[in-house]
Amino acid sequence: MTNFSFRCLLAALLCFLWLPNDASARIGYFWHISDLHLDSFYSSQGDIYRSCWQLGHANNGANELPGHYGHYNCDSPWSLVESAVKNMKAKQGDNVEFVLWTGDALSHSAQPLSAQKQHELLRNITELLGRSFSSPFIFPVLGHEDGSSGLQKYKQMGELWRHWLPTEALVTFEQGGYYSIEQSKSPLRIVALNTNFMRQDYETESNGRQSLRWPAEYYVEPKTESSTLSAQDQLQAEQQWLWLDEVLQKALSKGETVYIVGHMPPGVDERQLGPQLSGQQSFTERNNRRYLELVRKYASVIQGQFFGHLHSDTFRLMYDVKGTPISWLMVTPSVVPRKAGLGASNNPALRLYKFDTSSGQLLDYTQYWLDLPLANRAQEPLWQLEYNLTHYYGLSEITPTELHNLAQRFSGKDVSWFNRYHRANAVRFQSGTPCLGLCMLNHYCAITRLDYDEFRLCLESEQLPLQSHASVASCAVGVMFALLLLLLLLLQPAYNSANL
């Protein structure tokens, strides 16, 4: 071998040795779909105010005829749900590791239906997803609109989803609607929670008034609330906490990484302003605190947290006791275009995540959206690319520190970054009302303060600068007006003399 060939071989070997650690990483993808809210009564024919259960007393675009693919004030027709799953299949069907399906498959209109009819609707969606993906790994979680709870419900749903869940996962699911799955190809573990248990405490009656500790006059009691937990559910609610601690401890000892998946996220809803809304938080104060404590305890093994429920595109940050960002949480927007509460709406959306299968490290996500009015006019579901996370926000990587730095931009003087976030928050739905001042602050505090008391303090402390700025502005306007009046008074004699 010549000296030249030897030097080339040595150089090639050195280049191989100095390759980045992630060069051999295998890239994988998974879908996240949430909040379908299928309305079996939806119709685009006949009386506009009888086309869906909510339309008669809604206010966003109520004069627009319900279209084939939905309406901003309605839950989803089957055509919208079917088009969403077909789009997932077309964009990235066979080449996915798994699909996260985070609950609320049924419409609010399904509540009066029999358990048999509700189960039939869930079966239809299950079969649609099952025949659309060759991968058997679809991981479902229960939402609060997926029928009644209880042992019978969990056994029924366990039977329906048996082909997706291994035996070990079925044991806990059929007991309490939660489970854990260990990936065979990687050290990544999926931990699926039943967040319906987080809505109530059984040791003390807890509700929104106790949670955020605002003065009583701010609160409007919700018109409907789920009944108190049964004795069996009370037992399983506490058992889930013990089980979660045990699963995370085992993951820590075995060197696994974990994705936590659930329907309702901790913290508050960033799109519901101020303390006056009792529906602003999903968890009770006690359950919210317990969840945050567990995440802080096991942050080193938790690679990601994925939730739905809010019908919005947002994220959350969690910090240790020193204020260092240690974990993040992603909230995927909904397929349904309607959001309960304030009459807010959003365009339908789907999310495709890209990750390192060897470590679970999230690398990016691509979001697809449906321009609902355009789809109805064209009579075709034109799902489009909305954005890529890292490119859209200029992130070098997806870590708690990077997302913390992004959130800090939302509280600065440059509002361009917040406007970019806010445009995505409702999936390009144009409400016509700009998000300024307290609205911006509410988003920032919701993202960075998941503890209810810390959220309240964030609003109070950050409002002072806003109020002082407003006072300065008002003072400046007052001074200018006084100077103008003085000038007019000084010029008045000269004007009178000129006209004599």
| Single-letter code of the amino acid located at 151 | L
pLDDT digits (tens, 9 = 90+) for 444-482: 999 999 999 999 999 888 654 444 343 333 444 344 544
Among the listed residues 300, 225, 291, the one whose alpha carbon sits nearest the alpha carbon of residue 264? 291
Q: How far apart are CA 63 and CA 416, in angstroms?
A: 33
Q: How far apart are CA 59 and CA 95, in angstroms?
A: 41
What residues form DSSP beta bridges with 180? 191
10 Å CB burial of residue 19 (0-12, 13-18, 19+) is exposed
**3-class secondary structure, 180:** strand
For the CA atoms of 372, 366, 195, 435, what is the dihedral angle to 10 degrees?
-60
10 Å CB burial of residue 469 (0-12, 13-18, 19+) is exposed
Q: How far apart are CA 104 and CA 195, in angstroms?
A: 12
* SS3 letters across 297-337: HCCCCEEEEEECCCCCCEEEEEECCCCCEEEEEEECCCCCC
pLDDT digits (tens, 9 = 90+) for 26-84: 899 999 999 999 999 898 886 666 668 665 544 444 457 889 999 998 899 999 999 99
| Single-letter code of the amino acid located at 54 | Q
Q: For strand 325-331 and strand 302-307, is the pairing parallel, antiparallel, or unpaired?
A: parallel
Q: How far apart are CA 383 and CA 169, in angstroms?
A: 34
In the numeric block, the tokens 């144009």 are attached to 430
Q: How far apart are CA 193 and CA 261, in angstroms?
A: 6
Among the listed residues 354, 272, 276, the one whose alpha carbon sits nearest the alpha carbon of residue 312? 272
Among the listed residues 367, 248, 279, the one whose alpha carbon sits nearest the alpha carbon of residue 315? 367
User: What kind and span of H or E run contains 232?
Assistant: helix 231-254
User: Are the C-beta atoms of residues 165 and 280 closer than 8 Å to each other?
Assistant: no
So what's the pLDDT on residue 24? Answer: 52
Q: How far apart are CA 356 and CA 340, in angstroms?
A: 36
Residue 280: DSSP 8-state = G
Among the listed residues 394, 371, 331, the one whose alpha carbon sits nearest the alpha carbon of residue 70? 371
User: Are the C-beta atoms of residues 101 and 34 closer than 8 Å to each other?
Assistant: yes
Q: For strand 179-182 and strand 188-192, is the pairing parallel, antiparallel, or unpaired?
A: antiparallel
* Category of 428 on φ-ψ map: left (φ > 0), alpha (ψ -120 to 50) or beta: left
So what's the pLDDT on residue 432? Answer: 75
User: Are the C-beta atoms of residues 125 and 36 closer than 8 Å to each other?
Assistant: yes
User: In this structure, what token pair is assigned to residue 478?
Assistant: 């007052």
Give every residue of the chain whose pLDDT is below 70, as ranges: 1-25, 46-51, 53-63, 135, 184, 202-229, 274-279, 340-343, 462-500
What string of DSSP letters covers 55-109? GGG--SSTTSPPBTTB-TTS-B-HHHHHHHHHHHHHHHSSS-SEEEE-S--B-GG
In the numeric block, the tokens 């993808």 are attached to 29
**How many Å is the Cα radius of gyration of the chain?**
26
pLDDT digits (tens, 9 = 90+) for 197-222: 998 876 544 343 333 433 333 333 33
Q: For strand 98-101 and strand 138-140, is the pairing parallel, antiparallel, or unpaired?
A: parallel
Neighbours of 382 (CB within 10 A): 13
User: In this structure, what token pair is assigned to residue 496?
Assistant: 């009178």
Calculate the CA 149 to chain-centre distance. Answer: 23
So what's the pLDDT on residue 413? Answer: 81
Helix axis angle, 438-448 to 416-425, nearest 10°: 80
Half-sphere exposure of 126 (CA within 13 A, CB side): 20
In angstroms, how far apart are the furthest CA atoms of the chain? 113
